[in-house]
Amino acid sequence: MEEAGLITRSEQKQTRVQLKTITYIRLTAQAIQALGLGDTGSKTQSSYIKSTDDEKSIAFNGIAPLQDVNRENIQSSTKKQSPRETFVRVEGKAIPQDLAWLSTSNGLAATGILKLMATAKKKGARLSDVVCNAKASLLKLQKGALYAYLNALLVQEVDHAAVARQRRTHAEQVAAAAEKIVKREQDIKAMTPLRGRSYVAGNGAIWTVEDQAFWVVKGSEKGCVSFHQASAAVESILGGVWRETTKPLFCQASTGETKARQSGLSSMRTAIDECFATLRQRYA
């Protein structure tokens, strides 16, 4: 058609990002006259076609402008999709995975599960939430009794979704607390190799690592505190926040004679023994 003088083509251009080639094909005056789209008369080809190589539309009267048919964005196969419920085949039926145990373990028919799901949907609820909330009771029921119990729960005016959210939140809090306890025990165990070493806190107090406790000295004040009661200090030492000091610590004995500092726990035991001895003497 180009050789016959019916069309003209612009130079092909390839975009950098979209990786596609764009070219513009235009009818000549001869083609327009042959198609009966207009009377050329003495007009030249430029009367019907107003374009340059960079134009994106054709100026024929009554003809729609040229548009890029690939303008829509193509979704990548790796783009994250909205989460979908996982289904498994139970008795030839597609059942949500979290509900499958009702049939496989407790004998509820797959058709019964589907009926309960439909009932829950009518009530604006999810059967999965109902089952989650009452799972402890459901584990004891079988077949018809299980169906009747779930159906009775669905009749109640309860916001099952809200209850399920509360249960999940509580479970997450319990798990977080358990994880915190495990971490604390791990940190305390990690303090064992540091026994006998001293560290300077931000307020200038010196914390010396003993057996399951710290011996703390700040000026004239001295005392012992267990690792469990000083988790922040444990974290500061293990995290490298407090610098280590090699300066020896001494305390003044009651006789005025300077003695080497005893360990924290030994000092506590000595003080307790002295208290009991005083009490025995007083109330003997």
- Mind giving me the DSSP string for 149-177? HHHHHHHS---HHHHHHHHHHHHHHHHHH
H helices of the chain, in order, are 29-35, 45-48, 101-104, 110-122, 127-133, 135-138, 143-155, 160-190, 231-238, 264-282
Give the count of domains, the chain: 3
Is-contact 207 227, C-beta < 8 A?
no
Assigned domain for 174 exists: no
pLDDT at 75 over 80: no
pLDDT at 136: 84
Q: Higher-confidence residue: 6 or 45?
A: 6
Residues 109 and 60 in one domain: no
pLDDT digit string, tens, across residues 51-63: 444 444 444 444 4
pLDDT at 256 over 80: no
Which of 22-36, 40-54, 75-89, 209-223 is predicted least confidently? 40-54
Q: Higher-confidence residue: 268 or 221?
A: 221
143-155 vs 110-122: helix crossing angle, rounded to 10: 0
Q: Are strands 25-27 and 87-90 parallel, antiparallel or unpaired?
A: unpaired
pLDDT at 192 over 50: yes
- Mean pLDDT score across all residues of the chain: 73
Assigned domain for 144 exists: yes
Residues 252 and 201 in one domain: yes
Residues 52 and 6 in one domain: yes
Check: pTM over 0.85? Answer yes or no.
Answer: no
Angle (nearest 5°) at CA 111 between 106 and 113? 55
d(CA 137, CA 152): 13
Residues 32 and 95 in one domain: no
Assigned domain for 181 exists: no
Assigned domain for 77 exists: no
Assigned domain for 169 exists: no
d(CA 114, CA 4): 68
By residue range, what is the domain housing residue 30? 1-66
d(CA 102, CA 144): 11
Assigned domain for 60 exists: yes
Assigned domain for 182 exists: no
State whether residue 187 is helix, strand or coil.
helix
Mean pLDDT, residues 228-248: 86
Q: Higher-confidence residue: 238 or 268?
A: 238
Assigned domain for 27 exists: yes
pLDDT at 76 over 60: no
Residues 35 and 96 in one domain: no
